Amino acid sequence: MKPISNFPEPAPAASAWRLDPRVVMLNHGSFGACPRVVLERQQALRERLEAELVRFFMRELEALLDESREMLARLVDAPPSDVVFVRNATAAVNGVLRSLPLAPGDEILMTDHEYNACANAVRFVAERTGAHAVTARLPLPIGSSDEIVDRIMEHVTDRTRLAVLDHVTSPTAVVMPIERLVARLGDRGVDVLVDGAHAPGMIPLAVEQLGAAYYTGNCHKWLCAPKGAGFLYVRPNRQEGIHPAVISHGLNSSRPGHTRFQDEFDWTGTDDPTPWLCVGEAIRFLESFDGGLTGVMRHNRELARAAREILCSRLGLKPVCPAEMLGSMAALGLPEEAVVPTKDRGGGGFEIHPLQTELLERFGVEVPILYWPDPSRLILRVSAQLYNSRGQYEYLADVLDSCLPAPR
């Protein structure tokens, strides 16, 4: 990696994270980043676990897990009895989908902005059960939330059994009008599984009030907990028959003070539970900043909007949605001249575009470049976290200006 003389300084808060000082990290949205204090808490728990495993797993874990669950449940505004921990939102989506008694001819509705892993789960379950995966194609760019609601509702039929919808779309960074969608779909008798992978720590949540049958979110992204910390909420009248992807002891054993739902999900085999136990520490970390977590979310949203304005004004890039539909990320269309045609591209969420590699190797910038919505178009998605600074987006505009091909 070549040194750059005008390499930008991160925000002062960056010292709270163990970030590579040679990299401008503008991709918090993909995997998050765990602060030092949370990593220290996790290491202490791991040492406590390894010192006496039987004591930890069989005598101490339950109380620690309940304490962490209660903090998370308060944050997302849901009863602790209706919340369980999972490794990530993808695991929760799989658990719900593979638990539902779908029949041939049933329809599962999603959008073309759905996260690839979860869209794969929908298609897999549809194929196994004889159900149909129905995809509502959203406009790009999106002019208003009304367009999203109208496009999705156009695809609802008397055979629609479930809608799987992002709260915040991963590739396009759009905050969906999920409250309106849950209500409208509920009026048609359609349950909703909300994939809120990006939502906790990015936007305020009132999960129980939302009324969705199922809601899952990641804690390792915008809550900054360790990787392996996510949650699943299931409305009480839908909990019967919902199982984790791995069946274990909880299927035929119960604990006083816990629901069957919790019994099944709390233990799915010997594993490292410390990511779940660090969620409270991550929440305390974010609450320690001025304005608490509400202030952090506001700061990140404003910084994401500023980043988008810089890139639009400097480079003429096109936003994919109105500013009021942004959270802590923003996606912009890149000129068609930047597309690299190739027959054997990778797929899914692990593809790296040559421009993304160039930005990292030549300029030390980590930012995702995605083929979207098809191989003929590209979008760039920037994230905004407390460790980012306005100067980093100015720098991104400078380096993009130097390496994007000139318009024809």
Q: What is the pLDDT of residues 200-210, one digit of tens each?
A: 999 999 999 99
User: What does the pLDDT read at residue 344?
Assistant: 46
* pLDDT tens track for 165-192: 999 999 999 999 999 999 999 999 999 9
Burial of 54 (C-beta count, 10 Å sphere; 0-12/13-18/19+)? exposed
Tell me how far CA of residue 191 lies from CA of 141, 258, 279, in angstroms. Answer: 28, 25, 28
Domain 12-26+292-403 is in which class? alpha beta
Strand bridging mode 24-25 / 329-333: unpaired
Structural domain boundaries of the chain?
A: 12-26+292-403, 40-285
Q: How confident is the model at residue 377 (pLDDT cuts 50, 70, 90)?
A: confident
Question: What's the CATH code, domain 40-285?
Answer: 3.40.640.10
User: What does the pLDDT read at residue 341?
Assistant: 59
User: What does the pLDDT read at residue 350?
Assistant: 65
User: What does the pLDDT read at residue 284?
Assistant: 97
DSSP character at residue 213: S
Given a contact cutoff of 8 angstroms between Cβ atoms, the answer to whether 400 and 22 are in contact is no
Which of helix, strand or coil describes residue 236?
helix
- Look at 5 and 385; give whichever has higher pLDDT: 385
* pLDDT tens track for 76-88: 999 999 999 999 9
Q: How confident is the model at residue 6 (pLDDT cuts 50, 70, 90)?
A: confident
**Fold agreement between 12-26+292-403 and 40-285:** no
* pLDDT tens track for 97-148: 999 999 999 999 999 999 999 999 999 999 999 999 999 999 989 999 999 9
DSSP character at residue 94: H
Instruction: State the number of CA atoms in the 13 A half-sphere of 52 facing the CB.
Output: 6
For the ranges 34-48, 96-110, 279-293, 342-356, the lowest mean pLDDT is seen at 342-356
Structure tokens at 55: 């004591």
Q: What is the mean pLDDT of the chain?
A: 94
Structure tokens at 277: 């136990």
- C-alpha 271/C-alpha 126 separation (Å) is 30
User: What does the pLDDT read at residue 171?
Assistant: 92
User: What does the pLDDT read at residue 404?
Assistant: 86
pTM of the entire predicted model: 0.95
